[in-house]
Amino acid sequence: MKYKSTRGNKESKSSAEAILKGIAKDKGLFVPDTFPKIDKKLEEMIYMDYKEVAFYILKKFLGDFSDEDLKDAIEKAYDEKFETKEIAPIVKAGDAYFLELYHGKTLAFKDMALSILPHLLTKAAKKLGEDKKVVILAATSGDTGKAALEGFSDVDQTEIIVFYPDNGVSEIQKRQMITQEGENTHVVAIKGNFDDAQSGVKKIFNDDGLGKEMENHGFVFSSANSINIGRLVPQVVYYVYTYIELLKRGDIKSGEKINFVVPTGNFGNILAGYYAKKMGLPIHKLICASNKNNVLYDFLNTGVYDINREFFMTNSPSMDILISSNLERLLYELSDHDEDVVNTLMNQLDGETKKYTITPNMKENLQGFYGGFTTEEETIATIQTVYDESKYVLDTHTAVAYKVYEQYKEESKDETKTVIVSTASPYKFTKSVIKGVVASTKEKNEFKLIEMLSKNTGLSIPEPIKNLDKKPILHDIKCEKDAMKDTVKEILHI
């Protein structure tokens, strides 16, 4: 298995090289040159647990890692840091299944990949003889940051710098980051939104002058965002695991197609589902759920991607994104690997127009997707309805997904069994979730609301956030959005 850039600089990289570099020289994203196939009968896989499925899938994508390397990384990633034995439990509520991806240390789906990425990256560096210290650079809309900080904390020969929008994350998300321990961890609040943070990180990656300065001081950049193929590939695992788990339960028959509904902003999570489908997993529809920042909804329905629009801060902040980086990988597939088309579209997005229109053939290739979006009011109402009917508590992002699922059912009349990808614990967004569970409250303190949510629902408070408000604040750096490069240099003393 080799990896090449979406923008076609003809570089062919091993998986270790792609993971260590994070982004290609031509600013493109690394993609597999061919897609491996699921070559076992799915009914033969029902005796595999999450770790075994992970090994089976990762082995196909990361061929230059030895079996011993992969098994060691998997064992260290999916251990007792997850509060459930299954790693990714699947719960039936109403007429849908909920894939709970939030039982790791940071209470969000990013743990599924960021628990293993540090192990893959350090093994890749060793394999390639990289003697420089690896500087992990990440932008976050709330969840990636904490998961990356947790994963790379005190990992030898690494530094990690996370940028987040100062007023664009929940209080719980912010506290998780600014209290992060680890001598090599650095957290920076920027005066801007997530798109500003993400664009700033990309500019730093593509700054050749800074890259040379870094080398001279013994550093090399890599990424923890889902632009890194080492982040994306582990996410394919839970789609395959979900299917065989439903098969094991007898809820579906082998070969029966299912739907997945994914709340997404940066398009990485749903893209992993698309990759699973490309491998042969029987998926009927990938349903993309957006909030008021509905640029992906418009794209999937019109073929036009246009970021000339107002940016909204919503009660599902991890989806408050207008520039969906991973969509570039989908464009590569939709265009039948035409790098010239991808280059043209991305140049249009980066240029004056800030938008692009895909070709009719590419739009035809989007038939496996459905896009929907919800308002903040609908999100809260959905939390309330699902709780009233089934006593199941949704976080705001999962509520967005469930509401879009309802829209899809009403519009399509499709009776296909459907899995809602539940991306975060309700406790990460308690201030909003409580509105759908408790009639009204004057309480504003988010940590007291955690206790209230537990008392009213019987839902146990996850260990990682118990006494979070009492932890000392260890990170208090702030910077302007155009000062990110200088801030990186100050942190690294270069």
Residue 251 domain-assigned? yes
CA distances, 112 to each of 81, 102, 236, 247, 383 (Å): 11, 8, 10, 22, 24
Give the tens place of pLDDT for each residue, 275-304: 999 999 999 999 999 999 999 999 999 999
d(CA 204, CA 223): 11
Residue 203 domain-assigned? no
Residue 403 domain-assigned? yes
Residue 119 domain-assigned? no
Amino acid at 109: F
Residue 50 domain-assigned? no
Rg over CA atoms, the chain: 21
Phi, psi of 48 (to 5 degrees): -85, 135
Confidence of residue 11 (pLDDT cuts 50, 70, 90): confident
Give the tens place of pLDDT for each residue, 433-449: 999 998 788 888 999 99
Residue 191 domain-assigned? no
Residue 202 domain-assigned? no
Domain count along the chain: 1
Instruction: State the pTM of this model.
Output: 0.95
d(CA 140, CA 186): 13
Return the pLDDT at 135: 97
Per the structure, the complete domain to which residue 305 belongs is given by 90-104+230-468
Residue 10 has pLDDT above 90, yes or no: no
Which of 410, 461, 456 lies closest to 435 in space, CA to CA? 456
Phi, psi of 415 (to 5 degrees): -105, 10
Confidence of residue 8 (pLDDT cuts 50, 70, 90): confident
Phi, psi of 190 (to 5 degrees): -105, 150
Residue 181 domain-assigned? no
Give the tens place of pLDDT for each residue, 234-275: 999 999 999 999 999 999 999 999 999 999 999 999 999 999
Confidence of residue 225 (pLDDT cuts 50, 70, 90): confident
Residue 120 has pLDDT above 80, yes or no: yes
Residue 9 has pLDDT above 80, yes or no: no
Q: State percent of the chain over pLDDT 90.
A: 95
d(CA 42, CA 60): 16
d(CA 439, CA 86): 34
CA distances, 368 to each of 231, 232, 247, 260, 348 (Å): 23, 20, 22, 11, 25
Residues in CB range of 219: below 8 A, 6 or more apart = 132, 133, 134, 135, 159, 492, 494
Q: Which residues are catalytic?
A: 110
CATH number at residue 243: 3.40.50.1100
Q: Which residue has the higher pLDDT, 27 or 245?
A: 245
Mean of per-residue pLDDT scores for the chain: 96
